[in-house]
Chains A and B, each alone.
Chain A
Amino acid sequence: MAGIVKQDLIDFENEIAELFRAGKIRAPVHLRSGCEEQLIDIFKDIQAEDWVYGYWAMHIHCLLKGVPREQLKQAILEGHSISLCFPEQRIYCSGIVGSLAGVAMGTAWGLKRQKKSGNVYLFTGDMGAECGVFHEAVKYAHNFDLPIKFIVEDNGVSVMTDTRKTWGSDKPWFKDTVYEKNILYYKYQNSWPHSGLGQRIAF
C-alpha cells in the first residue's frame, strides 16, 4: 500500500493496545512488532487483485493490503481481530492454525485452471509452517507450479512454546529442499505478548 511507512504501522498497533488496555475491545487481540520493514518490502509485490490469507495477527498485513485504517480499527473494536476478513481487499484470516494453507493453495489452483489473473499469498507463523497441511499445500503448489507464495514469519514461538525445541529440529523443514523457492522466510522479534498486553484488563 503506497504511502504507509513503518511508523504508521507501529502507531496503529499502539493505538489498538491502548484501546485494549482501556477495555474497549472484548475479544483477543494479537499485536505484532519487529516485522514492519519486512512486510512493507513484501507487500510491494502484492497487488489489489491478489489474495492474502493469514491467521490471528494480521493488523499490519491488512493495512498494507489496503484496508482503510478506520475500517480495520472498527472491525477490531467489534471483536474480529482474530479472524479479520475484508473481501473487497481480498484478505481472509482464521484463528485456527493451519486452516488456510490448503484454502490459499486451492484458490491459486482455481485461478490458474480458470486462467484468471492474480496471485495468492499465505502468511503463517513458524509453528504453522510445520503443520502437515502446510507441507502438503507447499508440495502441491510446487509440483503444479501454482501462483502462490508462502510467507513464513518466524518469531521462534507458538504462544510461548519453542517451535524448534518441540519439533526437535534447529531449522524449518523446508530449508535446503526443493520447496524452499516457494517460501519466503524471515525472522523477527515480537515485542508484544502472543495475545493481549500481558496484564489483566478490567472490563
Chain B
Amino acid sequence: MKYFDELKRTMEWAAKKPEVVFMGQAVGVPGTFMFNTLKEVSENQRVELPVSESFQMQMTVGAAFSGYTPISIFPRLNFLMLAMGDLCNIVDKLPDIYGAKPPKMIIRSAVGPDAPVHPGHQHIGDFTDAYRKIFNNIEVVRLDEPKDIFPAYEEALSPDNQKSYLMIEVGNYYGSK
C-alpha cells in the first residue's frame, strides 16, 4: 500500500474503537492535506475545533482524562510549535509531576509538504530531532515508510498501552511513496 492509503486505512481502523475521537482543524471539513485520510470516518468521531493550538492541546488532555483516546491533529509541525508549552510542560511532565501514567493520546502532525507548491518557510519545518531531545515521556514516532504507519498506531492504541505519542508524517510522501 502507498503512504496515503496506509494512513487512511489506519485512521479507519482506529475509528472502529469507540473511545477514539479525532480533534482539530480540518477534521470535520476539508482544508488540509490530512483531511482525505479521515473522510470515511463517521462525522460523530470527527470534532472540528477552532484554531488555537494551545487551547486544542489542553482540550485534548482533558478529553483523555474524561475517558476518550483522542487523536489530535496539528497538520504541520510549525503549527504544533504554538502548543509546545502545553506539550512540554503538561503532556510530557504529567508522569513526572503526578507519578501517574501519561494520558493516552496521540498527537498527529507532519512535516508540511513543499511540493508541488512551496507554502513558505513557516509551513515546512521539520523539528523531529528537537522534539526527541525535549521530551522525556512522549513517544516521538517518525512515519517515514508506508509499512511504519499501521504498526505504530496499533501499538499506541493497544488496550494495555498507556502512553502519549507524537506521530510525525511527511507531507511530501502523500503523493510520492
Contacts and interface: CB of A to CB of B under 8 A. Distances in A.
B65 A110 contact: yes
Interface string B75-118: 00000000001100110000001111000000000000000000
Contact of A133 (B58, B89, B100): B58
Nearest to A80: B97
A99 B90 CA distance: 7
Chain B residues touching A, majority SS: helix
A137 B67 CA distance: 19
B55 A133 contact: yes
A96 B61 CA distance: 15
B143 interface: no
A87 B55 contact: no
Given A85-B97, A92-B98, A99-B89, A105 B59 contact: yes
Nearest to A94: B90
A106 B85 contact: no
Main secondary structure of the interface of A (DSSP, over half): helix
Contacts of A103: 58-59, 61-62, 65, 90
B interface bracket (residues with beta carbon within 8 Å of A): 20 to 34
A199 B54 CA distance: 37
B35 to A, nearest CB: 22
B135 interface: no
B52 interface: yes
Nearest to A104: B62
Given A87-B100, A114-B68, A109 B59 contact: yes
Interface in A83-135: 83, 85, 87, 92, 94-96, 99-111, 114, 116, 132-133
Interface of A: 51, 80, 83, 85, 87, 92, 94-96, 99-111, 114, 116, 132-133, 136-137, 140
Interface of B: 50, 52, 54-63, 65-68, 85-86, 89-90, 97-100
